[in-house]
Amino acid sequence: MTNDEKEFRVKNCQSCGQPATVHVTNIVSGQKREMHLCQACSEKQQILKNQELNLSVILQTMIGQHVGATSDELARLTCPACGIKYMEFKAEGRLGCPRDYQVFQKALEPLLQRIHRAMRHVGKIPPHATRNAAVQSELMDLRQKLREAIDVEAYEEAARLRDLIREKEGHG
């Protein structure tokens, strides 16, 4: 038995006082924090799940580091279709809608270069794709308007918008 195991034997669950079977050490910005819990409490707190490799956190760090000092121009960029700000993407690591690839293109390209060592798609093209980006974001605008029309109970307008969406979707 190692010293670590001996040490674990005497720990009780911090939450209920039962013998602890789950021991977690977190190191956050150089600060070590230990947690000792019994199985039932650890399940309640979902401790073990949180211990798994968190890819999105790693990615966020990478995106944050890469983008580094954001220029004023970038910081002000907002997608007209989904409303996400460039700063929000930087913080969350997730884009808001397909249009963002166009809106944030300048900032995204160096990031893509770093992640994939490439900036352009080579590969499958959807066989039925005929829609260009303009039609796509127009459809998104229409859906937003439809939502607003339903919210204010403007049902005639909503019906008109719904038909328009169906028409523009074509085979949709």
Q: Which residues contact 68 (CB under 8 A, 6 or more apart)?
A: none
> Could you tell me which stretch among 9-17, 68-76, 79-87, 154-162 binds another protein (CB under 8 A)?
79-87
How distant, in Å, are the alpha carbons of 21, 26, 34, 47, 48 from that of 40?
A: 10, 20, 18, 11, 11
How distant, in Å, are the alpha carbons of 100, 104, 115 from that of 84?
A: 8, 10, 22
Which position among 24, 112, 154, 164 is part of the footprint of another protein (CB under 8 A)? 112
> Could you tell me which stretch among 1-9, 28-36, 136-144, 154-162 binds another protein (CB under 8 A)?
136-144
3-state DSSP assignment of residue 125 = coil
> Could you tell me which stretch among 5-13, 55-63, 70-78, 156-164 binds another protein (CB under 8 A)?
55-63
Residue 32 or 171 having the CB closest to another protein = 171
Question: Max alpha carbon distance in the chain (Å)?
Answer: 75
Whether the Cβ atoms of residue 35 and residue 8 lie closer than 8 Å to each other: no
Q: Which residues pair with 19 in a beta bridge?
A: 12
Binding of another protein by 40 (CB under 8 A): yes
Binding of another protein by 59 (CB under 8 A): yes
How distant, in Å, are the alpha carbons of 19, 24, 56 from that of 9?
A: 8, 14, 34
Residue 35 or 108 having the CB closest to another protein = 108
Binding mask 4-23 for another protein (x = CB under 8 A): -----------------x--
Binding of another protein by 72 (CB under 8 A): no
* List of residues contacting another protein (CB under 8 A): 21, 39-40, 43, 49, 52-53, 56, 59, 63, 81-82, 84, 92-98, 101-102, 108, 111-112, 115-129, 131, 133, 136, 139-140, 142-143, 147, 165, 169, 171-172
